[in-house]
Amino acid sequence: MSRRRTPRALWVPARTTSLLLLAGCTSVTSQPSAPSPAPSLVAPPRAEEDAGGDALGIVARPSSTELTDARGDVWLVRRRDRAPRRLDRPGLDLTRTSVRHGTATVRVRAVLAAARPGPGVLDLGVGTAAGRWFADVPLAGGALQRFVSPDGDRVRCPRATSVRRDRVLTVSVPRGCLADPAWVTVRVLLSAPAPGGTLYENAHNDRPFAEAGTGRLYRAAPAD
């Protein structure tokens, strides 16, 4: 007597039966999946940005900064001297410098120890993602003596202003002259000719030169 075969349409492998039970049978319970992490409220910084943050992860994007500098740190640099000499020159001595990246201009306000303007020049370097711009501003105020693009070309910026009042020299450079940057860094150096050498004073430390300027300053919000 031959065995009765189960029709192929009714034959289901045991593994498939188990999967069906897991998928649709109410008698089988599965472990709940872990909740997805909440999306961040702060977009990740782009490669050209250095976004800092506090303990809560809130990104700080400053638009201004203020630098203080000790008095009596003007340096005389001569070729024949092995080391620069520190001098007291109030007319070239910076005490405080503020920088603001505004909605329309980048403004530098330099305060000197003496009210009488000297014969020197404020060398202004403005770094952007495209490179560094340079401007030479007379300490007595007035038109820029030189404005150079990151390519090394001398360009015109007729709307840039430089005003000297007592001990304060204020320089404003339109953002349009800087190709409308998202952020800037600013380096300030004062220089003046001297017998046998050059006098130097920078706004960032008590040495003759500063290796770096300010951190990145982002354009201020229109309401600021």
Tens of pLDDT, residues 57-106: 556 799 999 999 889 999 999 877 778 999 999 999 999 999 999 999 99
Tens of pLDDT, residues 8-54: 444 444 444 443 334 444 444 445 454 444 443 334 444 344 544 54
> In this structure, is residue 131 part of a structural domain?
yes
Tens of pLDDT, residues 104-161: 999 999 999 999 877 899 999 999 999 999 999 999 999 999 999 999 999 999 999 9
DSSP helix/strand/coil, 140: coil
Taking only Cα atoms into account, the Rg of the chain, rounded to an integer number of angstroms, comes to 32
What pLDDT is recorded for position 117? 79
Locate 193 and state its tokens: 């000719």
Residue 210 has pLDDT above 80, yes or no: yes
Q: How far is CA 39 from CA 36, 42, 44, in A?
A: 9, 9, 12
Region of 7 (left: φ > 0; alpha: ψ -120 to 50; beta: rest) is beta
Q: How far is CA 154 from CA 121, 135, 144, 149, 157, in A?
A: 17, 10, 12, 6, 10
> In this structure, is residue 26 part of a structural domain?
no
> In this structure, is residue 38 part of a structural domain?
no
**Size of the chain in residues:** 224
Contacts of 7 (CB under 8 A, 6+ apart): none
Say if CB 157 and CB 208 are below 8 A apart. no
What secondary structure letter does DSSP report for 83?
S
> In this structure, is residue 93 part of a structural domain?
yes
Residue 188 has pLDDT above 50, yes or no: yes
Of 205, 213, 160, 220, the residue nearest 185 (C-alpha): 213
Residue 105 sits in a domain whose CATH number is 2.60.40
> In this structure, is residue 29 part of a structural domain?
no
State the residue range of the domain holding 64.
Answer: 59-218
Domain count along the chain: 1
